[in-house]
Amino acid sequence: MLEGRHDSRRGRVSHAILVLPLTGLLFWADPYAADRERMVREQIESRGIRGAELLRVLRATPRHLFVPIAGRRMAYDDHPVPIGYEATISQPYIVALMTELLAPRKTDRVLEIGTGSGYQAAVLSQLAQQVYTIEIVPELAKSAQRILSDLGYRNVTVRQGDGYKGWPEQAPFDGIMLTAAPPEIPQTLIGELANGGRLVAPVGAGWDQELVVIEKDANGRIRRRSAGGVAFVPMRPGGR
Ligand code: SAH
C-alpha cells in the first residue's frame, strides 16, 4: 500500500512509507528500469533518434514483459531476441527507427503486419489513436493479445490471420508497418494506405533486405525510398 494510512488515534495521516528514496522505489517496482534507460541512451539517442515523444514512450514501455522468461535477461540488449515460432522481437533501435520513419500522429489509425510479441504494437499505440495488428501464428497472436490487454494498451486490436490479405474492414490506414519481410510490398497493403499516409517495410528475398518507405500523397501518387539494410523474419506466404 502506498497511500497514507489514517491513524484514527492521533487523528493524522501517516506517510512513513513515502520517505523511501524515490529511486529505490522505482527499482523495486521495475527491476529493469536501469537497463531500459541505458538502452534508450546508448542504442537509440546516440544513433540519432531525437523525437521527444518517441523517446518518452520507449522509456515507458516494459520491453522485458514482451519477451518470454527464458530470454528476459536479453530484453534490453542491442539485438533481436527469439520469441518462439521462428519469430523475434526486433532490435530496440530498429523499433525506434521504423517508428520514427512511420511518424504516427495522435489521430492516426495504424496497421501493423507481424504482431510477434506485441512490443512494436505497444509502442505505436502510445503515439497513434488506434492500432490494428495481424499475426499469422495463432499462439503468438494469443499471447500478444494477452500481454497488451494485461498492461492496459486498450487501443490495440490483434487479429490472427495472414497479413498479405490486409484488413479491408478497417482500411484505409494513415500508417502501415510491416515487421516481417515480403519479397515485394503487397499491392493489397498499398491499396489500404490512405492518401497522405506512409508505409514502412523491410523488403527483399531471404535475409538480404532493405527498409522501404512509401508515401502516398494527397492525390494518391506513390513515392518510394530506401532507408538502409535490415534483416527481418521473412513474411510467410499466405493464402494457404
Ligand atoms: N513486431 C514484432 C516482431 C515480429 S517478428 C514485435 O514487436 O515483437 C515477425 C512476425 O511476423 C512473426 O511473429 C511472424 O509470425 C509474423 N508473420 C510472418 N508472416 C506473416 C504473415 N503473412 N502475416 C502476418 N504475420 C506474419
- Catalytic residue at 46? no
pLDDT of 9 reads 45
Q: State pLDDT tens for residues 136-154.
A: 999 999 999 999 999 999 9
Span 24-40, average pLDDT: 83
Q: Is 214 in the pocket of ligand 1 (CB under 6 A)?
A: no
pTM over 0.95: no
pLDDT of residue 205: 87
Query: 51 C-alpha to center of ligand 1: Å?
Result: 26
Res. 4 pLDDT band, cuts 50 70 90: very low
DSSP string for the chain: --SPEEETTTTEEE-GGGGS-HHHHHHHH-TTHHHHHHHIIIIIGGGT---HHHHHHHHHS-GGGGS-GGGGGGTTSSS-EEEETTEEEPPHHHHHHHHHHH---TT-EEEEE--TTSHHHHHHHTTSSEEEEEESSHHHHHHHHHHHHHTT-TTEEEEES-GGG--TTT--EEEEEESSB-SS--HHHHHTEEEEEEEEEEESSTT-EEEEEEEE-TTS-EEEEEEEEE--PBPPP---
Is the C-beta atom of 236 inside 6 A of ligand 1?
Answer: yes
pLDDT digits 0-9 by tens, 98-133: 999 999 999 999 999 999 999 999 999 999 999 999
Is the minimum distance from the CB of 67 to ligand 1 under 6 angstroms? no
Catalytic residue among 8, 14, 46, 90: 90
